[in-house]
Chain A
Amino acid sequence: MVQEFKLNRLETTRLMGPMVDKHWKELRTAKERGEKVAWCSGVPFIFAYAMDMKCHFMAGYSAYCAGRKAGEHVLEIADSTGELPDTCSYHRMHMGMAEAVKRGIPVREDVVLPIPDLMIAGRVCPEMSHYAEALYRKFGIQVAGIELMTPYQESDYEFLEPYLERQFKEILIPTLEEICGKPFDYDHMREILRVLKKTATIRNDCLEYFKKVPSPWTLWDYGVSLAPVIYLMGKPETIPYYEKLRAELEERSKKNIPAILPEEKHRVFWDGWLPWGFLGHFSRKLTSYGANPISGRYPWEMFPRPDLIDPEGDPVHTFVKALYTGTMLGNNMAKPGLSLIDRIIPEYQIDGLIFFTAKSCRIWKSQLTILEKMERKYGIPGLCLEADMADPKMFSDAQIDTRLNAFFEVLEARKEKRRWV
């Protein structure tokens, strides 16, 4: 008889929806209250927050829009206005939204974005500056260009940190001061960092529970809980959220309650983006095999080293330190990524590797190489799932099912050959 599995969802994660909705609503309605609005790619949005601006975060918005099932419609608008289908789906989503607002094309109210006063082009990848450039061409909106160069290797932090710190101090802060007509609020930035530090520290406690066998939670639960350690940073309610989450995990852990019922059969590593547009869809697929994705590189991008954040000193300096030395920027690159995965596999007792590959985004470097090296070293199977984080046209569901089927068969067969030590 085929065993049936189901997700045992956490109670706490149900609280996240209203928090996220509130954030986007405040952004959507900011202009009505006479507030300044910025759009931002990468993490420099903290500087806009410090100036009491409402600020969008490119990847966060894309995840939100796709998660709300509005992404497909917005992508269709983009396509109808000339965007090409191989282009980054986050880029296209923003082009679609901008065109919808500009031309009055109706879209769901909860995903509408206000046209900003400033574009902060945080260039984690060059595509992130393309979207700012394209919006400048459409609306003539002021742009502040900040390069968030991803480090090729850890030893490069040494010169990348002062490079970024100078950009924040010489470009972004003066631009914000000009737009807001007031000096930069360093104290407010410190306050945001204090909350972030505390939230991320509790979050790290929560991540420890992934090591437990069976794990009391899944990467899907964590995916839902990412906003407090990224674009909800600084909101006081993020601390009690993670305290509650930690308490629930502790409770489950004591009682040995798994995140997948009746049992956690496979522990897998999920590399690359979370498929925001299809989170439920993919979680159901994996759950049907009793597979729990308990770790990945993406979750480790969200301020994994809060101990390095020193809110009482120079907030810009400490923020930059948290980005590079704190390994928030760079896990997507092959060498730092390989070191991280190499550490995670034995620590989290991983049975297999699923590398999610977004066809319209190549930010996760050398995935095939990493997969091959880790398979060889630990004797565990790996699979590349070619899909997309937001665009359903990029993949075939039937093909994914076939590949998952084969993968879990191999995984089962190879379990005895794992070499974690």
Chain B
Amino acid sequence: MEKVMSRFMELSTDPYAGVAKWKEDTGKKIIGCFPMRIPEEIVHASGMLPVVMWRGNEAVTLGHSYVHNFNCGLTRSFIDDVMKDKLDFMDGMIFYRSCLQAEEIPSTIELNAPPRHFLYLYLPPLYPGAVFRDFLIQQLKKMKENLEAWAGKEITEDALNNSIEVYNKNRSLLKRLYELRKRKPGTIRAREMLAIVHASMLMDKEEHSKLLGSLLPELEDREEVADGKVRVILSGGLCQTPHTAILDLIEEAGMVVVDDDIYIGSRYFANEVTPGNDPLESLADRYMKKTPPDPTMGDWKTLWSDYMVDKVRENNAKGMVSLLVKFCPPHLCYYPDIKRTFDKEGIPEVMIEVEHEVVSVEQMRTRLQAFVEVIRGGA
């Protein structure tokens, strides 16, 4: 078990080496996909490896000549990595706008250090109206055509259906993992969970499923260690990796994470693709699903705050820790509503603002300890 877990951890903490090695071993192309809604299955079906773009592991330096320091960590870090030639192993990059800052990356990269293959997709919001689904399908067709040109081969319907199956299987395994954590909280640490999901974004899905399949029975055998801990759910980190140090702090403060609503977490594998007559339409239908609510998608009726309240209650959690990425507009705009809703419902919630460059960990520790005391005092 330790070997598999180490593999996931290594890949998550240093994706550069792991992804580059996969390319070297297989001779296949690597395609970076901007988080969170690009259907990776189409890339997979082309025989290339889709990897979800990540926030790097070093402070931004050169990148600040290309992007303002008041952009979020992912935009700054990704541009920094590209300018430092750290992502040369990526043969292609696919972008779309999930927020205003996400829109900053593609042009900055294309104008300064264009990758071998580049695609800017227009992915629509989840507004009511058939026009949005039609437009999405049109864009997915464009994506498929581009990938066929990059891969130098046709993406057949069979290949797409196979990729959908591969991805669905991986999603169901990750779901099992999450169910296990809910049943036996504390058996899987938050940083381990993060590494497992993150690795799924960075490695061949079939290989990940195989490794995760072997890991699951062993994790089942772990003893539950959540006695006396405060059950919480994690939220936020809409498109980027939370710092593992912060996840550790949450646990050290006396909390146990029973579920989450973060992208490198349950949001990544939520919703399987329902196979149908046309695989692109099936992928579009997954994209159009309204839960988990996504504040980047413009759906005003499905309330994210209500969804989180339900998640806390379903998990019998005592509170929620919001990881608000500094300069993340969708979360910033929605957060006041989350706060109000949680106050109204009488559910404790604490917001930790996280930056790419870790700020004072001790201040966070104090806040998290105080949060635990508030919950325990009120219990």
A residues within 8 Å of B by Cβ? 81-84, 86-88, 91, 95, 121, 123, 125-127, 129-134, 136-137, 143, 145-147, 149-150, 152-153, 156, 159-160, 163, 166-167, 170-171, 333-335, 338, 357, 359, 361-363, 365-369, 372-373, 384, 386
Which of these, A147, A149, A366, contacts B108 with CB under 8 Å? A366
Q: Would you give 6 A-B contacts (Cβ < 8 Å), ordered by A? A: A82-B340, A84-B324, A91-B333, A123-B298, A338-B111, A373-B111
Tell me whether B332 and A125 are in contact (CB under 8 A): no
CB distance from B256 to the nearest CB of A (A): 28
Q: Which residues of A contact B103 (CB under 8 A)?
A: 150, 333, 362, 365
A365 CA to B104 CA, complexed, in Å: 5
Given contacts A333-B107, A335-B111, A361-B100, contact A82 B336 (CB under 8 A): yes
Q: Which residues of B contact A366 (CB under 8 A)?
A: 66, 104, 107-108, 111
Tell me whether B337 and A362 are in contact (CB under 8 A): no
Tell me whether A95 and B336 are in contact (CB under 8 A): yes
Which of these, A88, A129, A170, contacts B125 with CB under 8 Å? A129
Interface presence of B296 (CB below 8 A): yes
Q: Which residues of B contact A359 (CB under 8 A)?
A: 70
CB distance from B338 to the nearest CB of A (A): 10
A125 CA to B111 CA, complexed, in Å: 22
Given A133-B298, A145-B298, 9 further pairs, Cβ under 8 A: A82-B336, A84-B335, A121-B300, A134-B333, A134-B334, A159-B138, A171-B129, A366-B104, A368-B66
A372 CA to B104 CA, complexed, in Å: 16
Tell me whether A149 and B122 are in contact (CB under 8 A): yes
A368 CA to B125 CA, complexed, in Å: 29
Tell me whether A368 and B298 are in contact (CB under 8 A): no
CB distance from A129 to the nearest CB of B (A): 4
Given contacts A133-B300, A335-B107, A362-B68, contact A123 B333 (CB under 8 A): no
Q: In the complex, how many residues of chain B place their beta carbon closer than 8 angstroms to a beta carbon of chain A?
A: 52
CB distance from A149 to the nearest CB of B (A): 5
A95 CA to B65 CA, complexed, in Å: 34
A244 CA to B153 CA, complexed, in Å: 63
Tell me whether A127 and B127 are in contact (CB under 8 A): no
Q: Of all chain A residues, which has the CB nearest B302?
A: A133
A156 CA to B138 CA, complexed, in Å: 13
A163 CA to B298 CA, complexed, in Å: 17
Q: Which residues of B contact A159 (CB under 8 A)?
A: 138
A361 CA to B106 CA, complexed, in Å: 18
Q: Of all chain B residues, which has the CB nearest A333?
A: B107
B residues within 8 Å of A by Cβ? 65-68, 70-71, 97-101, 103-104, 106-108, 110-112, 120, 122, 124-125, 127-132, 134-135, 138, 295-296, 298-301, 303, 324, 326-327, 329-330, 332-337, 339-340
Q: Which residues of A contact B131 (CB under 8 A)?
A: 163, 166-167, 170-171
Which of these, A91, A131, A170, A369, contacts B130 with CB under 8 Å? A170
Tell me whether A132 and B300 are in contact (CB under 8 A): yes
CB distance from A392 to the nearest CB of B (A): 16
A372 CA to B62 CA, complexed, in Å: 14
Q: Of all chain A residues, which has the CB nearest B333?
A: A130
A248 CA to B291 CA, complexed, in Å: 58
Q: Which residues of A contact B107 (CB under 8 A)?
A: 152, 333-335, 365-366, 369
A386 CA to B124 CA, complexed, in Å: 31
Tell me whether A357 and B68 are in contact (CB under 8 A): yes
Q: Which residues of B contact A147 (CB under 8 A)?
A: 124-125, 127, 132, 298
Q: Which residues of A contact B106 (CB under 8 A)?
A: 152
Given contacts A334-B107, A368-B66, contact A121 B101 (CB under 8 A): no
CB distance from B294 to the nearest CB of A (A): 11
Q: Which residues of B contact A167 (CB under 8 A)?
A: 129, 131
Tell me whether A127 and B111 are in contact (CB under 8 A): no
A163 CA to B138 CA, complexed, in Å: 10
A166 CA to B129 CA, complexed, in Å: 10
- Which residue, B67, B127, B138, B324, has most C-beta atoms of chain A within 10 A? B127
Tell me whether B104 and A126 are in contact (CB under 8 A): no
Q: Of all chain B residues, which has the CB nearest A124?
A: B100
- Which residue, B128, B131, B330, has most C-beta atoms of chain A within 10 A? B131
Tell me whether A145 and B111 are in contact (CB under 8 A): no
A145 CA to B125 CA, complexed, in Å: 9
Tell me whether B100 and A363 are in contact (CB under 8 A): yes
Q: Which residues of B contact A170 (CB under 8 A)?
A: 129-131
A287 CA to B223 CA, complexed, in Å: 72
Tell me whether B100 and A145 are in contact (CB under 8 A): no
Q: Which residues of A contact B127 (CB under 8 A)?
A: 121, 145-147, 171
Q: Which residues of B contact A121 (CB under 8 A)?
A: 127, 298, 300
Tell me whether B298 and A137 are in contact (CB under 8 A): no
Q: Of all chain A residues, which has the CB nearest B351?
A: A84
CB distance from A382 to the nearest CB of B (A): 13
Closest 10 pairs between A and B when the two form their complex, measured CB to CB = A334-B107, A145-B127, A130-B333, A82-B336, A129-B298, A133-B300, A87-B332, A136-B300, A166-B131, A152-B120
Tell me whether A84 and B330 are in contact (CB under 8 A): no
CB distance from A121 to the nearest CB of B (A): 7
Q: Of all chain A residues, which has the CB nearest B129?
A: A171
Tell me whether B298 and A362 are in contact (CB under 8 A): no
CB distance from B20 to the nearest CB of A (A): 27
Q: Which residues of B contact A123 (CB under 8 A)?
A: 125, 298
Tell me whether A369 and B108 are in contact (CB under 8 A): yes
Q: Which residues of B contact A145 (CB under 8 A)?
A: 125, 127-129, 298, 300
CB distance from B311 to the nearest CB of A (A): 18
A166 CA to B300 CA, complexed, in Å: 21
A333 CA to B135 CA, complexed, in Å: 21
Tell me whether A126 and B111 are in contact (CB under 8 A): no
Which of these, A86, A127, A335, A384, contacts B100 with CB under 8 Å? A127
A152 CA to B94 CA, complexed, in Å: 13
A149 CA to B123 CA, complexed, in Å: 9
Q: Which residues of A contact B125 (CB under 8 A)?
A: 123, 126, 129, 145, 147
